[in-house]
Structure 1
């Protein structure tokens, strides 16, 4: 299991598990779409 954390101003992001089988099956476009969706959610107030 990989762990990653990022401390925000008033919160914490913690990744406990990455499903490598699913992630490795993503196309380059799907990776970009996932990243874009994540950034949209993170930038909302």
Structure 2
């Protein structure tokens, strides 16, 4: 029974780590998108684009 419990614990830790990694990448992607959008906005403003 302890082997099964240990395997379940390892699987739970692995699942939690996987979710943490995915959340970190999602956070970084959102930050990069925000930076990119800000830079594009500045470029459009500098050129006088209204669209």
Short-chain TM bin: 0.3 to 0.5
**Which one has the bigger helix percentage?**
2
Higher strand share: 1
Structure with max Cα Rg: 2
TM, length-normalised to structure 1: 0.41
